[in-house]
């Protein structure tokens, strides 16, 4: 895959909003044949442009009522320390996202839990068990004004 042209961008925009759309409907919406559309989608999947398809779940409807962002400052900034932290943080299903940062904090993680007690348990047992952490700072989300999944392409 060499180029993301306007037709591929149109496919991406549509699939980001509804990945369950049929190939026939997708093709008619972008004005290409179903065969050409399917070939484009497959090429983008193979190239990693389209990484995967997921279902977006309403957190409270599956008894997840706490979303938090936890900032982490590390003691150990060596490659070994970074790698050890990176491997261990992936073990926790509560962590939806972990980003290494430039600036005052080293990492920020997005965490979801059933309730405040479960979040407390997560921070005291799981998070505290990670190697090289100096300090953490938690921010509990009260409400979300924007909650997008689509990239602005």
Domains of the chain plus CATH, in order, are 6-47 (1.10.10.10), 59-140 (3.30.70.920)
The three-state secondary structure class of 28 is helix
Burial of 40 (0-12, 13-18, 19+ CB in 10 A): buried
State the pTM of this model: 0.90
Phi first, then psi: give them for residue 90, nearest 5 degrees. Answer: -70, -15
pLDDT at 1: 63
Give the dihedral sign, CA 103/109/110/111.
negative
The three-state secondary structure class of 86 is helix
Query: Which candidate, 84, 94, 93, places its Cα nearest to that of 120?
Result: 94
- Dihedral (C-alpha) 100, 89, 17, 60: value to the nearest 10 degrees? -120
pLDDT at 3: 80
pLDDT at 133: 95
pLDDT at 62: 98
Burial of 57 (0-12, 13-18, 19+ CB in 10 A): exposed
pLDDT at 41: 98
Phi first, then psi: give them for residue 140, nearest 5 degrees. Answer: -85, 130
pLDDT at 5: 96
pLDDT at 31: 97
Below-70 pLDDT ranges, the chain: 1-2
pLDDT at 2: 60
Question: Within its chain, how far is the Cα of 10 from the centroid?
Answer: 22
């Amino acid at each position: 895959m060499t180029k993301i042209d306007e037709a591929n961008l149109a496919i991406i925009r549509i699939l980001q909003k509804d990945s369950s759309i049929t190939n026939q409907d997708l093709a008619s919406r972008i004005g290409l044949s179903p065969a050409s559309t399917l070939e484009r989608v497959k090429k983008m999947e193979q190239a990693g442009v389209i990484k995967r398809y997921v279902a977006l779940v309403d957190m409270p409807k599956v008894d997840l009522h706490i979303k938090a962002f936890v900032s982490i400052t590390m003691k150990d900034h060596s490659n070994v320390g970074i790698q050890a932290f990176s491997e261990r943080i992936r073990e926790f299903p509560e962590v939806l996202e972990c980003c290494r940062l430039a600036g005052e904090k080293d990492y920020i993680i997005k965490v979801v839990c059933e309730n405040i007690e479960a979040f407390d348990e997560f921070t005291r047992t799981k998070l505290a068990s990670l190697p090289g952490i100096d300090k953490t700072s938690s921010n509990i989300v009260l409400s979300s004004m924007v909650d997008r999944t689509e990239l602005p392409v």
